[in-house]
Amino acid sequence: MTASPPDRVRIVEVGPRDGLQNEPTPVPVAERIALIDALSAAGLPEIEVGSFVSPRWVPQMAGTDAVLAGLTRHPGTRYTVLVPNLKGLEAAQAAQGVHDIALFAAASESFSQRNINCSIAESLERLGEVASAARALGWRIRGYVSCVLGCPYEGAVPVAQVVRVAEALHALGASEISLGDTIGVGTPGQARALIDTLAASLPVTSLAAHFHDTYGQALANLLAVLDRGVRVVDSAVAGLGGCPYAKGASGNVATEDVLYMLDGLGLATGVDLEAVARAGTRLCAVLGRPTASKVARARFG
Amino acid sequence: MTASPPDRVRIVEVGPRDGLQNEPTPVPVAERIALIDALSAAGLPEIEVGSFVSPRWVPQMAGTDAVLAGLTRHPGTRYTVLVPNLKGLEAAQAAQGVHDIALFAAASESFSQRNINCSIAESLERLGEVASAARALGWRIRGYVSCVLGCPYEGAVPVAQVVRVAEALHALGASEISLGDTIGVGTPGQARALIDTLAASLPVTSLAAHFHDTYGQALANLLAVLDRGVRVVDSAVAGLGGCPYAKGASGNVATEDVLYMLDGLGLATGVDLEAVARAGTRLCAVLGRPTASKVARARFG
């Protein structure tokens, strides 16, 4: 369980995984390592560095073992990998220095079927096996619930379904539950209500907000859940995962923009905004497209 | 004084003035009329249609009289023009059907000097003459205070200075005071504190939030001031005034993105989001650049 003091927010940088996985262009391992090293040097306390899924399905994440082997470990940073199943866990064990994994489930039945090819119940059973093996290794588990504020196939997602999946992940040992507005359709009242409902059965300090900015609502939604006591925020440098002028680009909220708001709110993160922006600028040059961070554009562009 | 019931928000569409005035390409009068007519048909209760400033200084606003003569008046819409001085007021009188004017002042001394070539005190004196003439005509006056959350030359702007200028505009007859975060640097805690301070001397229902999205903070800042009871929001269709991938683009918050958030919050506006987005798409084709509204891109792009 993360027990941050109330005036601090912990940023989980998901750009190298959730961001790059959704960029059309695969980024070479050496550039991914350079990005992660720049982000850890900027003071980010946790970075999701890749995933052990089949490169046939997600070519952008091929070479995650080489990324782990090549990065320079920063003492203040946790390096997390996404693991979909036992085979992925074995790959994580074979890789270098993994102690933190993330497990991915969906609050929407249709999204689960289309995205991970099984029902929510089946996915939780599969994740239960992975979690129990990870616990035996003494690893820390982070659980994702996707589609918490809406599903691309079903539209509205009942809060009760989010609660059920969040509780299930918590029960199988996830010390942190990251709530994903995967398609960025949520608005602040809805985000607030979700936290209020979840807080009845889970400690608010175990909840993380993982918002995408597809509809421009991410920072407002973050403000809403910060007001409710959430103190862990997932974000991606340069708003990776969505090009700023592509139709329906579903990028993560930009780390730079989150840091700027948190700083203004007097919430400490220990992260160097300018260093993050520099890392994003470099990566965007590799991707050949402008940053999706407005702060990076306005202040360092 | 605007006395909206607490569950309604009044949107003041500033795209045709504050937006277009800051676009590098002047837009022909016929296109400005088409834009304004589309916006009034979409249900917008107030549209700032232009300004009577010298076309030598602001060529984008040349032909505001022709715009006023050419538009189709919608019974539910007020058509406001910005007027800088008595000469502008005379032009507004000569134009067709003006009953609503906006006056512009700054909370920052340097911004006042560089933007309107006089001190704050001098500008308030000049605006006092304009306001007294407008009051004699029975016109409604809207007052702008710019740089309320920061100045490009001075940085931080003391809240007391904002209060002083807002009170002065109120005293000279402005029934609504629009608080401009002109360069978009503000964050939600600061916006909240500003409203709390102002509410001590001015009715919160007379305050409007006019936020630019340069640092991506506009919707979060709006949420913060809506929580404090502000019920008038200035915004610009398509986020006019700033290109989504230009360095330091200082566009207004996009009307579409504001409407989306307000709808999610259960705050009624009476405005048709899709119709606004269509108007923005058409105008962006004229400007030859993508919309800066994320909602327009995600849903109607």
Q: What is the DSSP string of A111-171?
A: HHHHHHSS-HHHHHHHHHHHHHHHHHTT-EEEEEEE-TT-BTTTBS--HHHHHHHHHHHHH
The pLDDT-based confidence of A296 (bands split at 50, 70, 90) is very high
Say if A131 falls within a structural domain.
yes
pLDDT at position B233 over 50: yes
Which chain B residues are Cβ-neighbours of A216 within 8 angstroms?
219, 254, 257, 260, 293-295
Say if B1 falls within a structural domain.
no
pLDDT at position B249 over 60: no
How many contacts (CB atoms, under 8 Å) link A and B? 113
Each residue's pLDDT tens digit, B264-286: 999 999 999 999 999 999 999 99
Provide the β-strand partners of residue A207: A177
The pLDDT-based confidence of A84 (bands split at 50, 70, 90) is very high
CB atoms within 10 A of CB B287: 17
Provide the β-strand partners of residue B252: B212
Provide the β-strand partners of residue B79: B47
The pLDDT-based confidence of A116 (bands split at 50, 70, 90) is confident
C-alpha to C-alpha distance for B114 and B57, rounded to whole angstroms = 13
pLDDT attached to residue B242? 72
Percentage of chain B exceeding pLDDT 90: 89
Each residue's pLDDT tens digit, A223-241: 999 999 999 999 999 999 8
Distance in Å, alpha carbon of B48 to nearest chain A alpha carbon: 24
Inter-chain touch B223–A222, beta carbons under 8 Å: no
**Number of structural domains in chain B:** 1
Chain B residue at shortest CA distance from A218: B220
For the segment A268-290, the average pLDDT, to the nearest whole number, is: 96
Say if B38 falls within a structural domain.
yes
Backbone angles phi, psi at A103, to 5 degrees: -115, 145
C-alpha to C-alpha distance for A244 and B252, rounded to whole angstroms = 17
Inter-chain touch A190–B264, beta carbons under 8 Å: yes
Say if B2 falls within a structural domain.
no
Which chain A residues are Cβ-neighbours of B235 within 8 angstroms?
none
Which chain B residues are Cβ-neighbours of A266 within 8 angstroms?
189
pLDDT at position B1 over 50: no
Residues 176-195 of B with CB under 8 A from A: 184, 186-190
H-state helical runs in chain B: 29-41, 64-70, 86-94, 109-116, 120-136, 159-171, 188-198, 218-227, 255-264, 273-287, 294-300
Nearest to B16 by CA among B57, B92, B98, B71: B71
Burial class (CB within 10 angstroms; exposed 0-12, middle 13-18, buried 19+) of B259: buried
Each residue's pLDDT tens digit, A118-129: 999 999 999 999
Residues B1 and B202: beta-carbon distance below 8 Å: no
Identify the active-site residue in B147, B151, B243, B284: B243
The 3-state DSSP class for residue A291 equals coil
In eight-state DSSP terms, residue B228 is T
DSSP secondary structure string for all residues of A17-78: IIIGGGSSSPPPHHHHHHHHHHHHHTT-SEEEEEE-S-TTT-GGGTTHHHHHHHS---TT-E
The pLDDT-based confidence of A1 (bands split at 50, 70, 90) is very low
Inter-chain touch A188–B261, beta carbons under 8 Å: yes
pLDDT attached to residue A248? 56
pLDDT at position B248 over 70: no
Say if B273 falls within a structural domain.
yes
Say if A29 falls within a structural domain.
yes
Nearest to B264 by CA among B292, B228, B222: B222
pLDDT at position B244 over 70: no
Say if A1 falls within a structural domain.
no
Say if A3 falls within a structural domain.
no
Token pair of A8, please?
Answer: 């601090």
For the segment A177-200, the average pLDDT, to the nearest whole number, is: 97
Inter-chain touch B264–A299, beta carbons under 8 Å: no
**CATH for A273:** 3.20.20.70
Rounded to the nearest integer, the mean pLDDT of chain A is 94
Provide the β-strand partners of residue A179: A145, A209
Helix axes A188-198, A159-171, angle to 10 degrees: 50
For the segment B197-202, the average pLDDT, to the nearest whole number, is: 97
Provide the β-strand partners of residue B48: B80
Please state whether beta strands A232-235 and B10-13 pair in parallel, antiparallel, or not at all (unpaired).
Answer: unpaired
Q: Which residues of A are catalytic?
A: 243
C-alpha to C-alpha distance for B236 and B7, rounded to whole angstroms = 22
Of B188, B265, B294, the CB nearest to A223: B188
Nearest to B65 by CA among B37, B98, B108, B109: B98
**Cα torsion through A18, A24, A30, A31, rounded to 10:** -80
CB atoms within 10 A of CB B227: 17
Beta carbons within 8 Å of A112's beta carbon, 6+ residues apart: A105, A106, A118, A119, A120, A123
Is any Cβ of chain A less than 8 angstroms from the Cβ of B15?
no
Helix axes B255-264, B273-287, angle to 10 degrees: 160
Percentage of chain A exceeding pLDDT 70: 96
Token pair of B140, please?
Answer: 């409604």
**Which residue type sits at A141?**
I
Residues A296 and A256: beta-carbon distance below 8 Å: yes
pLDDT at position B77 over 80: yes
C-alpha to C-alpha distance for B244 and B256, rounded to whole angstroms = 15
Which chain B residues are Cβ-neighbours of A224 within 8 angstroms?
223
C-alpha to C-alpha distance for B154 and B202, rounded to whole angstroms = 26
Distance in Å, alpha carbon of A251 to nearest chain B alpha carbon: 11
pTM of the model: 0.95
Nearest to A187 by CA among A208, A218, A166: A218
Token pair of A227, please?
Answer: 């007001």
The 3-state DSSP class for residue B73 equals coil
C-alpha to C-alpha distance for A179 and A166, rounded to whole angstroms = 8
Distance in Å, alpha carbon of A145 to nearest chain B alpha carbon: 21
pLDDT at position A137 over 50: yes
Chain B residue at shortest CA distance from A250: B298
Full domain range(s) for residue B112: 10-300
**Cα torsion through B5, B10, B37, B78, rounded to 10:** 70
Q: How far is CA A22 from the centre of its chain?
A: 12
Distance in Å, alpha carbon of B247 to nearest chain A alpha carbon: 5
Nearest to B44 by CA among B18, B3, B14: B14
Distance in Å, alpha carbon of B128 to nearest chain A alpha carbon: 35
Inter-chain touch A248–B297, beta carbons under 8 Å: yes
pLDDT attached to residue A246? 58
pLDDT at position B193 over 50: yes
Beta carbons within 8 Å of A67's beta carbon, 6+ residues apart: A16, A29, A32, A33, A36, A49, A50
Please state whether beta strands A207-211 and A100-106 pair in parallel, antiparallel, or not at all (unpaired).
Answer: unpaired
Is any Cβ of chain B less than 8 angstroms from the Cβ of A223?
yes
Provide the β-strand partners of residue A181: A211
Inter-chain touch B216–A265, beta carbons under 8 Å: no
CA angle at residue A281 from A278 to A284, to 5 degrees? Answer: 150
Q: Which of the two residues, B232 and A248, has the higher pLDDT score?
A: B232
